[in-house]
Amino acid sequence: MLGKLTRWLRILGYDVAYFRNMEDRKLLAIARLEGRILLTKDRALAVSGKESAYYVKADTLPEQLLELKQAFGLSFSLPPRCPFCNETLKEIPPEEARKSLPLFVALSFTTFRRCPSCQRTFWPGTHWQRIRRLCQEFLGESTSFVQEDLNSR
Ligand SMILES: [Zn+2]
């Protein structure tokens, strides 16, 4: 249910594990064992998890990000992670990225990152720009991680 929030938190650089159809008890055990906070839309689960769980009140992504910023003080300076695998993306030389990308993309960007797990290549395209806009509009960030991090070269 929080899959979209998960992907965006990873893009913002947060180490986020995601499970579907797992028993509440197991979820809480993993959270405690790995020092994570269980984010959930299940209020009863959040209550039973005490300090290891957090009930996400907001329903839309921008509101959820704002809520988490207020609750946990999200930072926007972490290196981005793969939204699918949760691995920290590695910067790769443009020549290498260009081998596998459409010409338009290859010529329009200079910074590329690759996921060491799924090998997907990322660049500061429309997805990142959407995130930057969201950060600016909803989170009051005047400089975003996109500028600092992905456009830094
Ligand atoms: Zn990946």
| Domain range summary for the chain, segments of one domain joined by + | 2-72
**15: CA distance to ligand 1 center in Å?**
13
- Residue 134 CA to ligand 1 center (angstroms) comes to 23
**What integer pLDDT is reported at residue 132 of this predicted model?**
65
| Residue 88 CA, ligand 1 centroid: distance in Å | 9
Six token digits for residue 40? 């959930």
pTM score, whole prediction: 0.81
Ligand 1 centroid, distance to 2 Cα (angstroms): 18
At 82, list the tokens: 């793969």
With a cut of 50, list the residues of the chain below it in pLDDT: 142-153
Question: Is the Cβ–Cβ distance between 52 and 28 less than 8 Å?
Answer: yes
Would you state the pLDDT for residue 139?
Answer: 64
| Tens digits of residue pLDDT in 88-101 | 999 999 889 888 88
